Structure 1
Amino acid sequence: MTSFAAISTFFPPSVPLSELREESPLDAKQIRRFQRFYGLSAVCRAPELDEEGLLLAAAAKLSELRGREERVRYLVQARTFPSSRPDPTDALRRIGAELGLSHATAFSVTGQACASGLQAADACGRLLSADGDPDALALVLAGEKCFTPIARCVPRSNVGGEASAAVLVRAGRPGDADRVLGTATRTHGRFHDEVVTGEPSSGEFNKLYPEALGEVLLAACENSGTAFEDIDLIIPHNVNTISWQAIADRFAFPLERIFLDNIPVTGHCFSADPFINYGTAGQLGRLRPGARYLLTAVGLGATFSAMVVQH
């Protein structure tokens, strides 16, 4: 029902964790923990850009959009953090005007925190399929500023980064280069307090995490008709490496088939991680035509989401 027509990404310079102590709750002990155990050494920061600039930087690199602007029916922002503006789409509509997409219907997808990116892409594919125009497109933008202490760092979990992604979506058709074959989403609402505090409400979340994530990974595979062991590469969210080591051990999945290359240099980029990693994997030659890839993201609140894509 959904295909990725193109993906572009924007990476601002990476800043070493040791230089973030003044702007985040990280102390020297926490920095050492993130470096030694969680696999982070630096994160992306773009102090010269606001959120609009961050999203436009990714969209401007989407060469496949040029000359096809009139086909874009939906302009969508995948948000981790709810907007505090009276009109949460005003910035998005300014971006649309800059890109020549003022005719497109603009809206945001949120409520699933960092899983909102995958949800936005799936929603756009469904809308386009229902519209019935095979040439219509949607543009999904993801990436946010680390503007609060909670956004900058979730203790014992991740450090926020400011990279962004632009995803051109169309209704899926057989033979498409990047076609979504199946998805799965589960929300465990009893952890809703995390959205406010930025920390797990109890040790129960840490205990649930690998089980709940594994559940959606397997469910997405089942919904796509793909055996888990036939997944060529898991394309994850960039929280930390230690959690993915636990998933690899739990499901006997080779760690080298989980794409962890960006975690040390980007940090966790809100709602954009799976698209950023899919784009990077393609640039590195890690995606094979016909192979199947498992994109996943987890949002505080807590929503677990996964998507099988055939390249």
Structure 2
Amino acid sequence: MTALDAVSVYTPAFRVPIEDLADPLDLTDIQVRLFRRFHGLDQVRFAPDRSPAELLRAAVEGLAGLRGQEHRVRYVVHGRAMPVVVPYPHNPLHDVCRQLGLGHALAFTVTQQSCASGLLAVELAGRLLAGDPHEDALALVLTGEKAFTRHARLIPGTSLFGEGASACLVSADGPRDRMLSFVCAQRGEFDGEYGDREEEFQRQYRPSLAEVINRAVADAGLALDDIRLVLPHNVNVVTWQRLCSLMDFPVQRVLLSNVPDNGHLFCTDAFANYRTARERDLLREGDHYLVATVGAGAGATFSAMVFQH
């Protein structure tokens, strides 16, 4: 059973108030007030002095469980929202692997599900480990990328992207944070910039996410009331308030405190929220928690994953 043996997160100390993003992102005063008052965003994290590879390495350097175990890592999977992040032939993932003594591992990137690619990377790592002949094999799952263009920094009227990174050591049969279920629904009709389908996408967003959450909970053999905590993607606060109302689930059990402090960290949100839950002692041994995210790009992807701590 796929398990998270260790999780490390790097979030830069440098934060920018959203008002300071108005000029570079060409936002009006009304749009800024919408982000702050309605969506609950306050500031966004950036790492201006770190390259994409340095961002990933900062997360891995905090992964104490990896030290001395590099030889056991058979796979390195980078879950990323953006298909292209550096000019060819540069490859930040391979650079990091070489620097950390992981050049022997099979390393690849998944971007097909945009901001939901982080959960896809965990699921793929688990499948690879399940079929690996080495019983002590490990996988390293990375997330993190730069908000390097206006398109990469803004979802108009919805969210603002920040920068951060995470590193997860995954095993096939670890003792805690064991994955009980994973459900993914892909909606190819919402490919591209949506165009005249934008209104339909907004109508389908919450019901589609609620459906995969309910399916993931059921596949784990649980009821929604059994979920101690939801670790969300940090798109904004109001989306989760309305989703909880739709599902009749207490919004107090959704960890939303990182939304105003971080912005939307692409695929890193789930892992940053996991770190916060651990730091605040919000999960007890045996608790069930759910990670949910949506990726929009090459179609829309709605994903949910249930774990037992």
TM-score by length of 2: 0.95
Give the AA of the match of 1:27: T
1:254 to 247, 250, 253: 250
Aligned-pair CA distance for 1:10: 0.6
Aligned-pair CA distance for 1:222: 1.1
Equivalent position SS for 1:15: strand
User: What whole-Å deviation, never above 9, does each CA across 1:269-300 have from its counterpart, x for those lacking one?
Assistant: 11111111111111111111100000011000
Percent of aligned positions that are identical:
45
* Structure-to-structure mapping, 1:87-126, within 5 angstroms: 90-126=91-127
Tell me, in whole angstroms, the C-alpha distance in 2 between the residues paired with 1:52 and 1:22.
Answer: 28
* Structure-to-structure mapping, 1:133-144, within 5 angstroms: 133-144=134-145
* Structure-to-structure mapping, 1:45-60, within 5 angstroms: 45-60=46-61
2:67 is matched with: 66
- Root-mean-square deviation (Å): 1.6
1:161 is matched with: 162
Give the AA of the match of 2:200: E
Question: Would the alpha carbon gap of residues 87 and 76 (structure 1) be closer, same or farther in structure 2, given more than 3 Å must change?
Answer: farther
Tell me, in whole angstroms, the C-alpha distance in 2 between the residues paired with 1:125 and 1:86.
Answer: 30
Aligned-pair CA distance for 1:85: 5.5
Give the AA of the match of 1:302: A
Equivalent position SS for 1:75: strand
CA contact (8 A) 1:89 1:107 kept: no
Tell me, in whole angstroms, the C-alpha distance in 1 between the residues paired with 2:293 and 2:139.
Answer: 21
Question: Would the alpha carbon gap of residues 227 and 87 (structure 1) be closer, same or farther in structure 2, given more than 3 Å must change?
Answer: farther
Tell me, in whole angstroms, the C-alpha distance in 1 between the residues paired with 2:180 and 2:249.
Answer: 21
CA contact (8 A) 2:85 2:145 kept: no
2:213 to 199, 205, 217: 217
Question: Would the alpha carbon gap of residues 227 and 200 (structure 1) be closer, same or farther in structure 2, given more than 3 Å must change?
Answer: farther
* Structure-to-structure mapping, 1:167-182, within 5 angstroms: 167-173=168-174, 176-182=175-181
User: What whole-Å deviation, never above 9, does each CA across 1:225-251 have from its counterpart, x for those lacking one?
Assistant: 111111001110000000000011011
Tell me, in whole angstroms, the C-alpha distance in 2 between the residues paired with 1:98 and 1:63.
Answer: 16
Equivalent position SS for 2:6: strand
Tell me, in whole angstroms, the C-alpha distance in 1 between the residues paired with 2:18 and 2:222.
Answer: 39
1:184 equivalent in alignment to 2:180? no
Aligned-pair CA distance for 1:106: 0.8
1:281 is matched with: 277
CA contact (8 A) 2:185 2:302 kept: yes
Tell me, in whole angstroms, the C-alpha distance in 2 between the residues paired with 1:172 and 1:110.
Answer: 26
CA contact (8 A) 1:5 1:170 kept: yes
CA contact (8 A) 1:172 1:180 kept: no
CA contact (8 A) 1:180 1:307 kept: yes
Aligned-pair CA distance for 1:27: 2.4
1:290 to 286, 300, 306: 286
Tell me, in whole angstroms, the C-alpha distance in 2 between the residues paired with 1:29 and 1:120.
Answer: 38
Aligned-pair CA distance for 1:189: 0.6
2:238 to 230, 242, 251: 242
Give the AA of the match of 1:258: V
CA contact (8 A) 1:293 1:310 kept: yes
Tell me, in whole angstroms, the C-alpha distance in 2 between the residues paired with 1:288 and 1:14.
Answer: 31
Question: Would the alpha carbon gap of residues 52 and 84 (structure 1) be closer, same or farther in structure 2, given more than 3 Å must change?
Answer: closer
1:307 is matched with: 305
Tell me, in whole angstroms, the C-alpha distance in 2 between the residues paired with 1:88 and 1:288.
Answer: 45
Give the AA of the match of 1:177: R
Q: Which structure 1 segments of 5+ residues have no match?
A: none
Divergent runs of 4+, >3 A: 84-89
Aligned-pair CA distance for 1:201: 3.7
Aligned-pair CA distance for 1:134: 2.7
Tell me, in whole angstroms, the C-alpha distance in 2 between the residues paired with 1:262 and 1:86.
Answer: 32
Aligned-pair CA distance for 1:23: 2.4
Question: Would the alpha carbon gap of residues 200 and 209 (structure 1) be closer, same or farther in structure 2, given more than 3 Å must change?
Answer: farther
1:8 is matched with: 8
Tell me, in whole angstroms, the C-alpha distance in 2 between the residues paired with 1:98 and 1:2.
Answer: 27
Tell me, in whole angstroms, the C-alpha distance in 1 between the residues paired with 2:89 and 2:278.
Answer: 33
Tell me, in whole angstroms, the C-alpha distance in 2 between the residues paired with 1:30 and 1:217.
Answer: 31
Question: Would the alpha carbon gap of residues 266 and 15 (structure 1) be closer, same or farther in structure 2, given more than 3 Å must change?
Answer: same
Equivalent position SS for 1:268: coil
Give the AA of the match of 1:189: G
